[in-house]
Amino acid sequence: MPVSHRELADRLRAAYDAGAVAPLRDGLEPTDASGAYAVQAINTQVWQSEGRRIVGRKIGLTAQAVQTQLGVDQPDFGVLFADMEIANGGVLPFGKVLQPKAEAEIALILGNDVMDPGATAETIAAATDRAFAAIEIVDSRIADWKISFADTVADNGSSAFYVLGDAKPLNGLDLYSCGMVLEVNGQVASLGAGAACLGHPLNAAAWLARTLAALGEPLRAGDVVLTGALGPMVALNPGDEVKAIVGGLGSIGFRFEEKK
């Protein structure tokens, strides 16, 4: 008999401290979206009850190649909490992650609620207050990153931390053809462009808005939206200095703390 969603949620929360666990095959089929989001929701509620504050959402699986790899035809999302933000130029503590990777993204902060289940890129543009260069530090509580779609969704979209750069007004920015360079220790580690994110970062944000509106949990004014990777993610090692430059949005960075 499959284990319950609550048991899977408990297992994932424990993994943050006890270490990564095996894929969740004993309770979730690899493409079980509804079950995986149910597990995610349980942990979201537990964390909120412990005082963590939701500040937005992250979008994952925005690259066609990654969707194909995991056997799905849609992105996924996870929840962002206030304690996930690292200051630009700050430090990612070694003991806070298990097997971290970094990816450069474009982040949005909304100025208005987005309630429309038919939201488009234009809807998002009209609702967006500011845009930022961002780095998302993803992590997996699943051993060796051997994830299915259900694994990563249940595991809060493989989320961990994020860094935001300086705010820019959306008007005048080219989020489609803007280039991205991610450097690790001064060496180019990943290249990309806005178009790599579901064809356009605003397309990804519109997908999220439609999905959440249909669930009765719409995006709200003030929400942070990490729209998805602009290029391949890069595994991190203690001591790494990470910097990302996104055309029109400037540069951001952080340091991954040495093992103590």
- Tell me the pTM: 0.96
Q: How confident is the model at residue 4 (pLDDT cuts 50, 70, 90)?
A: very high
pLDDT digits (tens, 9 = 90+) for 141-158: 999 999 999 999 999 999
Q: Are strands 54-60 and 76-81 parallel, antiparallel or unpaired?
A: antiparallel
| CATH number for the domain that contains residue 33 | 3.90.850.10
Which residues contact residue 253 at a Cβ distance below 8 angstroms, ignoring those fewer than 6 apart? 88, 89, 135, 163, 241, 242, 243, 244
Distance of CA 246 to the CA centre of its chain: 17
Give the structural domain span for 193. 5-256
Q: How confident is the model at residue 68 (pLDDT cuts 50, 70, 90)?
A: confident
Cα(114)–Cα(111) distance, integer angstroms: 9
- Asked if residue 260 has pLDDT above 90, the reply is no
Residue 74 tokens read as 């849609």
Among residues 236, 200, 243, 213, which one has the least CA distance to residue 108?
200
Distance of CA 80 to the CA centre of its chain: 8
State the Cα angle at 68 between 64 and 26, rounded to 5°.
Answer: 130
pLDDT number for residue 2: 82
- Asked if residue 169 has pLDDT above 90, the reply is yes
Domain count, the chain: 1
Beta bridge partners, 144, equal none
